Amino acid sequence: MKNLFLLLSFFCLLSSSVNSQELVKSPEPFGPLPTQKQIDWQEMEFYAFVHFSLNTFTNKEWGYGDESPQLFNPTNLDVRQWARVVKAAGMKGIILVAKHHDGFCLWPSAYTERSVKNSPWKNGKGDLVKELAAACKEYDLKLGLYLSPWDRNHPEYGKPEYITYFRNQLKELLTNYGDVFEMWFDGANGGDGYYGGANETRKINTLEYYNWDETYKMIYELAPKTLVWGVGPAEARWIGNEEGRAGKTNWSLLRQKDELAGKVHYTEFMSGHENGEKWVPGEADVSIRPGWFYHSVEDDKVRPLDEMVDIYYESIGRNATLLLNLPVDRRGLVHENDEARLKELVATIKEDFKTELLAGSKISADNVRGKSKEFTAKNVTDGNKNTYWATDDNVKTASIVFEFDKPTAIDRVLLQEYIKLGQRVKAFNIEAKVNGKWKTIATETTIGYKRILRIDRVIASALKVNITDSKASIVISNIQAFNAPTFVRMPEIQRDRNGNVTMKSEEGNSIYYTVDGSNPTTKSTLYKDIFKYNKAVQIKAVAFNKEEKIYSAVKTAKYGISKEKWKMVAVSSGDLNSSIKIIDGNPNTDWGFGNETNKLPQEVSIDMGTILKIAGFTYVPQQVGNNLNLISKYEFYTSLDNVKWTLQSDGEFSNIKNNPIEQVKTFAETKARYLRFVAKSAEGKGQTVSISEINVVEK
Ligand code: FUL
């Protein structure tokens, strides 16, 4: 009897220990969590933006609201071409700007005459949203829509009636075109506009005027699958710049309550808030060209491959999604140059991630939750996004080691947390065993949904990831490593005001260049030292990695006649001598003028020293700093004698606050020796504005 009892209790013990082995509990979720909708959205990673509207035909970035719908007249509109380009790039959807700030609608809204129905396109019978929805379906892409809350055309903008109109349009978009994966509400709201002929400035309080709580409620009732981005209590946030770059530290959390109380500066969006109370992941938006809308002057300004690759790694590689804009042209097509660049980007990224190196390695970790197989370190290489390596509760530092059969070259490491349970990791580093010694090759902060590191190539016999700080136990679903081909960066080209050209490249590379427009090779001129080139010129240069015999992409720099003879002849306030910075050929130096005593408008006059035929000018705004002194309204005059002046161009630098790029304004070709640039108003409240550079456009 006694023996039987002992035997029984032995079995009980045994089975309970087996149970505890099998029943190691999953980690508890920690902190704010994503919804399934947000997870699905994050997994899309890369999707397209299309800006195509009246602005395409008026050559503007922001329409004032008085442009005629008759101007919308694409000659060869083909949304299936857009879808093909997007699909081929591996993007997962398209967000179409259905209505931009000028109020023109790309669908025949029942609530306004300002739409495609009053345009010559398809004799007013077209519906672009409908066409794109069908093309997306055909190509298995998701459709997203941008409806500008600001409407510079609507007579009632600023009054309660407009909110009804806005919501009616939202209803149309969310109910007539199938599923909409993302609804985009831009932050530009209120300012001057046509407003049904009132031609006035209407300021609104974005957070109060739209009653976002009500609007969001309506959206979720009509379209629960739609994720809402931007202003209001959104489910995803702007990344804080229009360059497509997230912070190295990037929390998917945000103190949204503070944000809605106006207490968060937009520069904080790049990194989110470690102590945010809501899951609001970042979306990095950027255009493949300087502008959001198509401008033929930008056909040769498509972002270079180097920049596109950086954008990829600094958005998707930094825990954000990438929303890449393709400005459809006047034909109604994605331009050839944009398509070509996109293909180059995709080919580069594909090569970078061609061969994964960790899956075949020997993997171990110094802590595995409950020593359970379910949470084994090996889960990080099993290709299953639902399995993960986890540590015991309260174990917030741990290491995972990958040992190779033979020394292995590595220059990329990709890590993913299992975000269903929250974003946890606050700090980590990576070590590589090189010639038998551990060497730290990266020290970083957050991981989140996805983090990709570009590191200098190491030949390692083992790799170690050390999580050095975490909010809670560690939960990692994926770790990968690759050996991406060497990427030779393009050389930098600079020309100063006297025409002196300097070029720079990474150490060990040679630079070859041409000045006749042809593409440089190792047979072209070898750059040795600074040289003088005063005339208008297009310099094309490549860097060449001698060891591996690899070229960079071609860097093109276009210059007008050098500014050697240029002089500042007058400034309406401030010091004339230091205003030389406006014409020093260096966009990183700027000159500020205007203040509370010398209020705007303020002006500067330049003597080019000789008569030139010009067809436009450019204004490079201040580039460095967070609170830039930007000009929003301007006038530009030319003269042959510094006495009689002719107004050549006036208007606004739209969207300069979010996107402070070189502003190009063209006009009919004219002869000029003197230039006068008038800053009529500043972006924001201040009276100080700044100019980095004024250039002229020669035909
Ligand atoms: C900005 C807008 O003002 C631009 O025109 C553009 O639509 C961009 C995506 O968002 O804030």
Residue at token pair 């594909």: 350
Q: Is the CB of residue 188 below 6 angstroms from any atom belonging to ligand 1?
A: yes
User: Using alpha carbons only, what angle is made at residue 399 by residues 398 and 404, rounded to the nearest 5 degrees?
Assistant: 165
Q: Whose CA is nearest to atom 8 of ligand 1?
A: 292
Q: What is d(CA 129, CA 106) in angstroms, rounded to the nearest whole number?
A: 6
What is the distance in A from the centroid of ligand 1 to the CA of 597? 33
Residue 458 dihedral angles phi and psi, to the nearest 5°: -125, 150
Q: What is the dihedral of CA 149, 154, 157, 161, to 10 degrees?
A: -100
Amino acid identity at 555: K
Pocket test of ligand 1: the residue of 242, 323, 663 to mutate, having most ligand atoms within 8 Å of its CB, is 242
What is the distance in A from the centroid of ligand 1 to the CA of 102? 12
If you write DSSP's letter for every residue of 280-305 in order, what string do you get?
--EEEEEESSSSSS--GGGTT-SPPH
Block means of pLDDT (10 residues each) for the chain, 699 residues, are 46 42 87 98 98 96 97 97 98 98 98 98 98 98 98 98 98 98 94 96 92 96 97 96 97 97 95 98 98 94 97 98 98 98 98 97 98 98 98 97 98 98 98 98 98 98 98 98 98 95 96 97 98 95 97 94 95 95 92 93 97 96 83 97 97 91 95 98 88 92
What's the topology of domain 50-351?
Answer: TIM Barrel (3.20.20)
Beta-carbon contacts of residue 23 (< 8 Å; ≥ 6 apart): none
What is the distance in A from the centroid of ligand 1 to the CA of 480? 36
Residue 684 is predicted with a pLDDT of 75
Which ligand 1 atom is the nearest neighbour of the CA of 148?
7
CATH number belonging to domain 492-559: 2.60.40
Which ligand 1 atom is the nearest neighbour of the CA of 49?
9
Residue 626 is predicted with a pLDDT of 67
What is the distance in A from the centroid of ligand 1 to the CA of 116? 21
Q: Is the CB of residue 285 below 6 angstroms from any atom belonging to ligand 1?
A: yes
Task: Answer yes or no: are the C-beta atoms of 504 and 491 closer than 8 Å.
Answer: yes
Which helix H or strand E contains 58, and what residues bound it? helix 54-58
Beta-carbon contacts of residue 566 (< 8 Å; ≥ 6 apart): 497, 583, 606, 607, 608, 609
What is the distance, to the nearest Å, from the Cα of residue 268 to the centroid of all Cα atoms in its chain?
15
Residue at token pair 């209120």: 190
Residue 623 is predicted with a pLDDT of 83
Q: What is the dihedral of CA 540, 545, 551, 554, to 10 degrees?
A: -20
What is the distance in A from the centroid of ligand 1 to the CA of 169? 19
Residue 238 is predicted with a pLDDT of 97
Task: Answer yes or no: are the C-beta atoms of 675 and 638 closer than 8 Å.
Answer: yes
Q: Is the CB of residue 67 below 6 angstroms from any atom belonging to ligand 1?
A: no
Which class does domain 567-698 fall in?
mainly beta
If you write DSSP's letter for every residue of 224-239 in order, what string do you get?
TTPEEEETTT-SBEE-
Residue 22 is predicted with a pLDDT of 57
What's the topology of domain 362-482?
Answer: Jelly Rolls (2.60.120)
Residue at token pair 């229009």: 242
Q: Is 346 exposed, middle or buried (0-12, 13-18, 19+ CB in 10 A)?
A: middle
Q: Could you check whether 50-351 and 362-482 share the same CATH topology?
A: no
Q: What is d(CA 289, CA 127) in angstroms, rounded to the nearest whole number?
A: 27
Pocket test of ligand 1: the residue of 94, 292, 657 to mutate, having most ligand atoms within 8 Å of its CB, is 292
Q: Is the CB of residue 658 below 6 angstroms from any atom belonging to ligand 1?
A: yes
Task: Answer yes or no: are the C-beta atoms of 663 and 617 closer than 8 Å.
Answer: no
Domain ranges for the chain, please list them: 50-351, 362-482, 492-559, 567-698
